[in-house]
Amino acid sequence: MGPVLAGVLQLLALIGALALVYIPLGNYMAKVYSSDKHWRVEKWIYKGIGANPDTEMRWTAYLRGVLAFSAAGVLFLYLLQRIQGVLPMSLGFKAIDADQAFNTAASFVTNTNWQSYYGEQAMGHVVQTAGLAVQNFVSAAVGIAVAVALVRGFARSRTGELGNFWSDMVRGVTRILLPGAFIAAIVLVACGAIQNFAGIHEVGQFMGSHQQWNGGAVASTEAIKELGTNGGGIFNANSAHPFENPGPFTNLFEIFLLLVIPFALTRTFGIMVGSVKQGYAILAAMASIWVGFVALMMWTEFAHHGPAFQLAHGAMEGKEVRFGVGSSSIFAVSTTLTSTGAVDSFHSSFTGLGGGITMLGMMLGEIAPGGTGSGLYGMLIMAVIAVFIAGLMVGRTPEYLGKKIGSREIKLAACYILITPALVLIFTAFSMALPTPGHSMTNSGAHGFSEILYAYTSASNNNGSAFAGLNADTQWFNSTTGLAMLLGRFLPMVFVLALAGSLAEQKPVPETAGTLRTEKPLFTGLLVGAILIITGLTYFPALALGPLAEGLAS
């Protein structure tokens, strides 16, 4: 079997697995967020935090809950890192420096999981489990909660109430993420991933020398890292490390984990708004972009340019022999089209055009299918933009799901789509103009620029992967990427929840002969086109200076 055919078969197997769980998981999540009953353990949690889960919240109260909970998470995780040296099971590691502790706290609370440190050489077991792993769960649950609030905004009318943040967040953890991660961790352990609290010990190598390794709760961390589209690994090699990702099956399984909830949430959306066809339309847009990007990535990485590529049957530099070009291409596209950031290969070593594809996936807003929750609300914002464009074409007030898209709604949607490009381009420009950040670049020319552009694209879009040729462990990059993560996560949520509140207050608009049928393939095509055109117009000049210039020159 040739490597190209193997890659295609793996893609088909992955699509089949996602299709099998799409309906049951989507239905289950709709039931989770529509039920008025609370589990006993959830009642204990509400009592412990002093929250009333039955109180309906307007968008401002919902937002205050999101921001207060996330701010507490940043502070707790920062302090935990700063006192690591006196914690039990610290493995002898010292406290994390202030700038790096801020960066890491911002990273994990925002579901970015950008790492400017070597996990196995910096973080002890307590910080990894009580700090980082906990945020893997709750940050993902916050993203789903905000998406559900926006869906309620479309589904409800003549009320500004969007549900209860504390109830939505807790249910996301207890009913979806914890059970899913538990099952996934068992699968990973059965396939060879490690799960222990071992200390540092020496491991023999084939050539007779020795290397030091430490253990960790790797399988459980890996499970929620992928299922919650987080991305931060215990080991610096991330999902390329055999302790985290032992073989070809686990590699495909981890890709499945990082895609399954974002795709299934479209089914949840369809059920909650009363039309599963609307969910299928959003799913079709997401799937079209994802499959198209995978096909393009495979083409660029399997292209034979020169004898080295021909002998290896593809661009094998920076890729694990265990996985090959096909599986690595699927992983790279999936991790950058979601907000995961986990890597099983070295993105900086992809071909010039291949590296550009990973960047473009993040620049789309990570909406195909996107992160847990963030992908759905990002795609719904783009749907609002697409409906508005269609309304301009025919001279009719745009409507979506029975709600009019007026000046207030389109302003909120426009603000949403402008935030991350502004962060990416401004921080990249400053880093290229100032002398100090430039010293972190190990490459010059187009590839060096791509390293900087990738870093801020990843941080601002809450992805977390990197072109690893950049030394990001400096005060400049720790501070600016940390700020980009916080602004890139929470400013968009402000506009999403404000939009949800505005929509929930409207009364339904009856469907007429002139209403745009948003469940039809025509609208799906319009939505995909709007996404690609808006992103292209925004980022094309920057991409032309980096990956496009490098790819055309090779």
Residue 471 has pLDDT above 90, yes or no: no
475-496 pLDDT, tens digit each: 999 999 999 999 999 999 999 9
Tokens of 204: 């023999």
pLDDT at 320: 81
| 116 within domain boundaries | yes
Highest mean pLDDT pick, 90-94, 236-240, 268-272 = 268-272
| 206 within domain boundaries | no
Are the beta carbons of 368 and 456 closer than 8 angstroms? no
Average pLDDT, the chain: 90
250-304 pLDDT, tens digit each: 999 999 999 999 999 999 999 999 999 999 999 999 999 999 999 999 998 887 6
pLDDT at 206: 63
The mean pLDDT value for 376-400 works out to 90
Q: pTM of the prediction? A: 0.94
The mean pLDDT value for 327-342 works out to 93
| 92 within domain boundaries | yes
Are the beta carbons of 227 and 177 closer than 8 angstroms? yes
Tokens of 224: 């929620």
pLDDT at 440: 67
Tokens of 175: 């009913």
What length does the chain have? 554
Residue 118 has pLDDT above 90, yes or no: no
Give the rounded percent of residues in the chain with a pLDDT score beyond 70.
95
In sequence order, what DSSP letters do the residues of 172-215 get, joined into one string? IIIIIIHHHHHHHHHHHHHTT--------EEEE-TTS-EEEE--
pLDDT at 386: 95
Residue 306 has pLDDT above 60, yes or no: no
183-205 pLDDT, tens digit each: 999 999 999 999 988 877 777 66
**Residue 366 CA: distances (Å) to CA of 262, 336, 417, 538:** 11, 7, 12, 15
Q: How far is CA 5 from its chain centroid?
A: 28
| 189 within domain boundaries | yes
Distance spanning both ends of the chain, measured CA to CA:
29
Number of H helices, E strands in the chain: 22, 4
Tokens of 474: 């400096």
Task: Please state the domain count of the chain.
Answer: 1
Q: How far is CA 187 from its chain centroid?
A: 22
The burial class, CB within 10 Å (0-12 / 13-18 / 19+), for 16 is exposed
Residue 1 has pLDDT above 60, yes or no: no
- pLDDT: is 440 or 292 the higher one? 292
Tokens of 229: 């589209």
pLDDT at 167: 97
Residue 119 has pLDDT above 80, yes or no: no
Residue among 550, 22, 551 at smallest CA distance from 282: 22
Provide the domain limits for residue 229: 3-200+211-553
Are the beta carbons of 463 and 258 closer than 8 angstroms? no
CA atoms in the 13 A half-sphere facing the CB of 53: 23
Give the rounded percent of residues in the chain with a pLDDT score beyond 90.
66
Residue 43 has pLDDT above 90, yes or no: yes
- 3-class secondary-structure state, position 58: strand
pLDDT at 214: 79
Residue 239 has pLDDT above 70, yes or no: yes
Residue 213 has pLDDT above 80, yes or no: no
| 131 within domain boundaries | yes
127-183 pLDDT, tens digit each: 999 999 999 999 999 999 999 999 999 999 999 899 999 999 999 999 999 999 999
| 205 within domain boundaries | no
Residue 310 has pLDDT above 70, yes or no: no
Residue 554 has pLDDT above 70, yes or no: no
359-387 pLDDT, tens digit each: 999 999 889 999 999 999 999 999 999 99
pLDDT bin (cut points 50, 70, 90) of residue 412 is: very high
